[in-house]
Chain A
């Protein structure tokens, strides 16, 4: 890259970052505070940020999972829930809740709202930004709380933490009966694809675009380049000026996207277990298609609906049953990257 190109590129990114931050400020007006309990937070607490839309059955386990990891406070935006999610969340002692009735899509799939909350509340904190169906797994997560990880990242001057979004699926058909709400979804979504992920470096933003997994295999066979991206940066030490660009795939400033090593070694990274392929997916696909609020013309949900008519079995003879983070580390889906 010539010096001029480099300059033009960094100018573009700076401009992009400014636009996004202004956008976040503008979209802040769409947020209505329901309950702010963040006053009691400590200086070193780890915060979680998320957007919710009709997720009531999945909320209790979600909150329990992250409370156990040591999340001090949840900052949640409710986008038009009608199933009691809002009431449930506003009754939780460690949740601050906003509602946003405007378009999810036009708020960059909720990222504008989260950017504005992050800007106001997360500065100087480690922020975990996940969806309700994403469950964070990091090295030693069975024996060390999240604070052990963030302390170590601080000591190592690491400011962002990458993770692979790992789609989990059941051993049988996707439509098999659903377990009781509030249970661990991975009692039911037991399997995953262990090694069909592709990596493509993105020069502009400096991240690596990862695709693959069962969704690409089953729904995007003819159009693999449009399969959902699986590279995520869910955990960030938030600083003034940080901004998420597209979901949690890309951040600016772009140094935060470099969660990988280019010269042979492995940087520490984790996995987000993805509980998306639940039995209620078909209903959800119907709902979301009428709502038209998803990425790339809801292509994904359409694929689910079309494939759904024959009943989907994602399981195959090489499927791997989930056993814990050490297994994922051995399979090369995540890495301890220097953390002994």
Chain B
């Protein structure tokens, strides 16, 4: 059994020569087609370099254009040359000049000997056209493409849209069923002969001449017609990225390439000296270390380009504000308002109950209170208020990015900077816990005696709180709000605090949990009544004691 390798070359002829020479060291025949666009000096240099080798021949040169029938003509020329030169050839493997064998050729020969008379050509029916990445599907066959995509792009696009608009569709000939697949096939002598001698060849060629990218459909369609035994797979590993561009391989892919279930790989970067040495030389095939799958490596890079990392803004990724499929932040987080006033020592208590960092008031006017009052926070975030206020959304997004894969919590009180409110309300990652009127206790602590000053401060805080509550329960809100009244929080701390813990992913403890200290209810009442008396619109019912079984947070939306 003899195998002939047909090589389609159009550039980097030094590398083509290297490939041909390495193949010539094995018992295969090699036939090279060099694009007629390549200048003659390079071509004749290649010919001279390979002249002494009897098992390497050259096919007639044809000027090829990408996506055009001339490529099929070049492939046909290769087939004709091989069949007329060597009677013993049983299989023809088509590869490109920028491919390399990634397994010893002897393995391929053994494989083909085991599968005598089988054609290996990826061939997918076009009706299910998810094979095609970024481009035309069935229209490759029903429209006409007289213009070159690379050189006459405008005419090409114009002509496609004219045909679409005027519904100029042509019928697919009856004697073929369009199939499509990788350009790089391995066919038996018998199949290739039948394709070359098809009685309808002239009309079929005439049809394919004006289809789009016939090099991915001509042999793929005709092999279906003539093959006795066909396996729809390519022996050449050739991946396309999300733009439909072939993935290029470099030295650092060597081990991954060696692990691929195929005999050749394309396309190799011409400067990848390491790959050329490894795969044209003595074939030290075994990977030198643990190997990642090449396909998953490619998949990862594609994901980066298509979807990116949620919550990340950087030089290469700046989602605009209309982009919403992903949350604006990288990690879920919990925001607490009014808790430290009701439960002095709440932050420390929460820090002990669960592992995530609990920051203080990140948006306080005087500074950023990171956990432990650090001067510099995670990722190098500054505690200086001006830096935070220069870009508050970036600040929070950066903090969330530092906690990606985990979570964190912080305090946010009505006296803090309002610049982050809208962002919090719109972020589905935000769990917002508010004890309504919690600020009353904090205001009481300040010991303001002048009633005018007190009234102004209280009215301001009341309005801020109400505004924030409206925002997080509003139509555009995507956060998860949980709201308790001061009365509930002071009279029944247990359900409130266990709700807080479950929001942070801590299960309800079986034993009764140690609670933080609780502020004095009577004092709160007295101060609230005083505020009401000096003219602040306080709803005193919110301070009423509530029986434990009725303590439920309001406005808990579906997301939890």
A interface residues, Cβ below 8 angstroms from B: 140, 143-145, 147-148, 151-152, 155-156, 162-164, 193-201, 208, 210-214, 216-217, 220-225, 231, 259-269, 316-319, 332-340
Contacts and interface: CB of A to CB of B under 8 A. Distances in A.
B252 A164 contact: no
Nearest to A222: B386
Contacts, number: 188
B379 A264 contact: no
B380 A213 contact: yes
Contacts of B307: 264-265
Could you tell me the dominant secondary structure of chain B's interface residues?
A: loop
B241 interface: yes
Nearest to B392: A198
Could you tell me the dominant secondary structure of chain A's interface residues?
A: loop
26 contacts: A162-B316, A193-B380, A194-B402, A195-B378, A195-B401, A198-B398, A217-B387, A221-B384, A225-B390, A263-B319, A264-B325, A265-B304, A265-B306, A265-B308, A266-B304, A266-B309, A266-B314, A267-B316, A316-B376, A332-B314, A336-B301, A336-B304, A337-B316, A338-B242, A340-B298, A340-B300
B250 A163 contact: no
A196 B241 CA distance: 32
B243 interface: yes
A224 B390 CA distance: 7
Contact of A193 (B326, B379, B384, B401): B379
B247 interface: yes
Contact of B380 (A195, A211, A224): A195
Contact of B250 (A144, A220, A261): A144
B382 A264 contact: no
B364 to A, nearest CB: 16
Most chain-B Cβ atoms within 10 A of its Cβ — which of A155, A194, A211, A264? Answer: A264
B149 interface: no
Given A144-B252, A335-B314, A264 B241 contact: no
A319 B304 contact: no
A272 B143 CA distance: 48
A209 to B, nearest CB: 10
Interface string B235-251: 00001011101011011
B200 to A, nearest CB: 38
Contacts of B450: none
Nearest to A270: B315
Contacts of B308: 261, 264-266, 335
Interface in B373-430: 374-382, 384, 386-387, 390-391, 394-395, 398, 401-402
Chain B: interface residue count, which band?
Answer: 35 or more
B28 interface: no
Nearest to B297: A340
A214 B308 CA distance: 26
Nearest to B274: A143
Contact of B316 (A152, A198, A225, A261): A261
A210 to B, nearest CB: 7
Nearest to B267: A155
Contacts of A163: 315
B251 to A, nearest CB: 6
Contacts of B300: 340
Given A148-B269, A151-B271, A335-B304, 9 more contacts: A155-B248, A196-B398, A198-B398, A217-B384, A260-B317, A316-B376, A332-B401, A335-B308, A340-B297
